[in-house]
Structures are given as C-alpha cells and as structure tokens.
Amino acid sequence: MTILPTETHILIFPFPAQGHMMPLLDLTHKLATHGLTITILITPKNLPFLNPLLSLHPSIKTLVLHFPTHSSIPSGVENVKDMPSNPVHIITMIRILAELRDPLLRWFKSHPSPPVAIISDMFLGWTNHLARQLNIRRIVFSPSGAMALSVIYSLWRDMPKRNQNELVSFSRIPNSPEFPWFQISTIYRTYVEGGTDSEFIKDAFCANLASWGLVVNSFTELEGVYLDHLKKEFGHHDHVWAVGPLFPHPGPSSVPVDDVLTWLDRCEDNKVVYVCFGSQTSLTNDQMEQLASSLGRSRVKFIWCIREEEHVRGYNLIPSGFEDRMAGRGLIIRGWAPQVLILSHPAVGAFLTHCGWNSVLEGLAAGVPMLAWPMGADQFVNASLLVDKLKVAVRACEGATTVPNWEELARVIKESVSENRVNRERVQKLSSVAVDAIKDGGGSSVKGLEMLVQNLVKLKLKSSDL
C-alpha cells in the first residue's frame, strides 16, 4: 500500500517566542512543500505571525486555542517578546501552556482524520505524554544547536549540583566542555527539588529525551560530533534529524527595509558593525551607556537594533543626544530590524551578538565574523562553539548584568572591522558549507528533511494497517 504525503497529517506546536517560532515555521514551510497535511496550533495574538507562511501555503490549517490566563502574565500578552526579559517569565510561559492539554485532547478526539504525529518545541515536553495517551508520536523541535542541546539534556538527566569550584563538567559530551556555574541556563540553576514549577520543567525535559524523534536546527558539517552524541543519548539513532540552518521568513520591520539597504549601500564593504541581542534580551541603562560610548569612540559605522520594551524602566535607554551625534555614522533601529537582510549585505563586517542560536546561524550563513556577548540560556555554549572551536568570533563581553568597559569594548569593535581580521576567511568558508547543507540535490540538511518526511509518511502507513 502506498501512502501519499498529503494523507499524512501532522500537528505543529510552536513555543510563542520569536527565536523558537520562526525556525519552526520555516521547517513547517519545508514540510508543506513536501506535501504533508499540516495543522498549526496557535493562540489568537500569535496568529498574525503565521501570515507569511499561510499565504505561501493556503492548505495549512490553524487550530486556534485561547491563551490560558495566569496572574503573572498581563492580559493580552501571549508571546515572550511582550514580556520583560527575565527567565522567570519563560518558566511561567512554559508552565501555563500545558493548560492547553485538555482542549487539544478534545480536538484530537473529535477530528475525523487526526494527526499521526506532533512536532512541538523543546519547551513543550508535556506534549510527549499527550502523544502517548493518543497513541501517536511526538517529535521534539530544538531551536537550539546540537552542542547546546547536549548540555541541556545532560543537565536534566544528571542533575549536577553547584560545587565548590563553581565549574560544571560535561565529560560525556564530545570535547568534555566545562562551564562556570553562572553560565549554566537560569532555568536549570533555579531548579528547586520538589518545587511545582521546577518538577514540571524537569519532567518536561525528561519527556523530550523519551520522545520518538528529534529535529535540530543545525547541520552535520557544523555540529556532526554533537549530533552523533545526541543520537547515542536519544537511543533512536535514526530518529534524529538535522535540518538547518532554518531562517525566519520576512516579516514586519520597524523601519522601511529599503532605507536600511540604501544606508548600507553607501558604506564600504565589511566596515559596518551590526549590533543586536535577539528578540528577548534588553540591556540595562548602564550597559546601554557603555555600549553607546564604545560605538561612538570606536569611530566605526554601525547599525544598532534596540528592543522596544516600553513597560520596563531602567532598560534600553539610548543616552541623550547620542543618536544626533551619530547621525550619518550610526543607524539606530528601535524595535524589529530586518536582521537576515542586514547580515547578508556586503557592507556588514562584524556582528555584535548575544549568541542566540538563530543569530549564530544567520551570522555564519552570511559569512560575518561575530563579537560574542552571551547573556544566558544556551548562549554561553554557543559562544564557546564560535570562539573556541570554530574560531569565527571573539569574546566582547559576557553576562546579562555585566557592564562592559567602554574602552575595552571600543577596541574590540574597532578591530572587528579592521583590515587584518583573522577570522573572516574562516567564517566565509563556513558560510558556503551552511548554504550547501540546504541546497537541493544533496545538501546534508535536505537529506535530513527527506528522511524526516519518509518517517512521518511511514507512521501514516502503520496507522492505516491497524
């Protein structure tokens, strides 16, 4: 019996944070291109994020479920981007989404041809329990890289405690990485044995490990050793698929995209520093002041994207008069910048980044050397991959609360666009490897995606046999 991809129905369940949603939506686009029948679970306020995807694939259905209410999430907020940048809020978001379990269960039970698998974000581990109850498969989607995911899994499985030398060692992971305690993800560091939220999160990560499959936004040529490690840890060797780099689809920008590109067109190649800390991170006003001083004194051209977070005082304040003083030399974007377009412009010579995994992949794919300022989550692991292993970045600063010294930062920024940059050639080589990985007709991630599709179609075949 042959099953067509269109007869295979899957449910996509993104976690509502830009850095998690956007790569999963690109994966969804690729799965739809392979002909699968897809439903995406979304809450009302996040629905507009699907517009670019739905206009490309009108056949994709949405399952819109009301966002659960919670005393610490203001009414109307349904996405991490609208919450203050604090890991506590992410934990609340992870916890509260589990309340969608019952409505989701009812939807499955009433659907004439329900999905045979759920592909859900790694922050939605509870969906594995639901999938078991429904006798279907759950596939974890990791928006983080394979090295970072190896560290995350290792933490929740082995539960290392804070020790005297403040160093956590991961001896089973290739190259035995070690990280100081403060660089370990806050979600793990704030774990309290027996605590309701903590035990829920622990159970969710263990459920990820027990899931049927794993899709990673990475590619073999970049993280092969860590992908192999995950395959061993995961137990199902052939159920780990690397499909990256995945990219965000063009969405709304806070400034006219043409204005930004025209501004860049007027700059010399490789001379502009692009500064952006992702969709969740805000700088304190002290950090803003030092960063502004270092950009100002370094005399480089720059684009600085600053997250808009109107409701939080003490953050994201641009020093008075700075913008006027920098007119012509620096472009400040408040809100959302067209990051992928900026990075791929030849004028951009360096990227000061918090090392969120999407930014890392976008910087690599564009062949732009990076200045690493990891702040939290998986970013210290990503920074160590970039700086120590791949040697395509240098350290600029580290820590969410660290106030950099402007002179030191100005020096690093200035050097990043100087003539004698050492790591530009290396990152440009990696860029072509990244592009090859997603090239039709043999790219490693294209093959990964095909294997994933085949496995999903086989699931339908098995369910039809029952």
Ligand X SMILES: O=c1ccn([C@@H]2O[C@H](COP(=O)(O)OP(=O)(O)O[C@H]3O[C@H](CO)[C@@H](O)[C@H](O)[C@H]3O)[C@@H](O)[C@H]2O)c(=O)[nH]1
Q: Residue 434 CB, nearest distance to ligand X (Å)? A: 14
CA angle (37, 39, 44) in 5-degree steps: 155
422 burial via Cβ count (<10 Å: 0-12, 13-18, 19+): exposed
Give the chain's end-to-end CA distance (angstroms, integer).
13
| Binding-site string for ligand X from residue 278 to residue 317, where x marks contact by CB under 6 A and - marks none | xxxx-----------------------x------------
Q: Residue 418 CB, nearest distance to ligand X (Å)? A: 25
Q: Residue 45 CB, nearest distance to ligand X (Å)? A: 17
Q: Is there binding between residue 223 and ligand X (CB under 6 A)?
A: no
Q: Residue 422 CB, nearest distance to ligand X (Å)? A: 24
Q: Is there binding between residue 125 and ligand X (CB under 6 A)?
A: no
Strand order of the β-sheet with 330-334 is: 330-334, 301-306, 272-276, 348-353, 370-372, 393-395
Task: Report CA dihedral (163, 88, 400, 378) to the nearest 10 degrees.
Answer: 70
Report 18-57 residues binding ligand X (CB under 6 A).
18-20, 22
Are residues 307 and 281 in contact, defined by beta-carbon separation less than 8 angstroms?
Answer: yes
Of 271-279, 316-324, 384-392, 393-401, the segment contacting ligand X by CB under 6 A is 271-279
Q: Residue 108 CB, nearest distance to ligand X (Å)? A: 27
DSSP 72: T
Nearer to ligand X, 116 or 276 (CB): 276
Task: With CB under 6 A as the rule, give the number of residues binding ligand X.
Answer: 25
- Which listed residue (191, 274, 302, 357) binds ligand X by CB under 6 A? 357
Number of Cβ atoms within 10 Å of the Cβ of 335: 12
One-letter amino acid for residue 376 of the chain: G
Q: Is 425 helix (H, G, I), strand (E, B) or coil?
A: helix
Report 363-382 residues binding ligand X (CB under 6 A).
377-379
Q: Is there binding between residue 144 and ligand X (CB under 6 A)?
A: yes
Q: Residue 342 CB, nearest distance to ligand X (Å)? A: 9
Q: Residue 170 CB, nearest distance to ligand X (Å)? A: 18
Q: Is there binding between residue 362 and ligand X (CB under 6 A)?
A: yes
Q: Is there binding between residue 337 and ligand X (CB under 6 A)?
A: yes
Which ranges of 111-195 would DSSP assign to H, the alpha helix? Answer: 127-134, 146-158, 186-189
Nearer to ligand X, 290 or 359 (CB): 359
The rounded Cα 162 to chain-centroid distance in angstroms is: 27
Residues sharing a CB contact under 8 Å with residue 381, sequence separation 6 or more, in sequence order: 145, 147, 148, 151, 177, 179
Q: Is there binding between residue 413 and ligand X (CB under 6 A)?
A: no
Q: Is there binding between residue 152 and ligand X (CB under 6 A)?
A: no
Nearer to ligand X, 8 or 208 (CB): 208
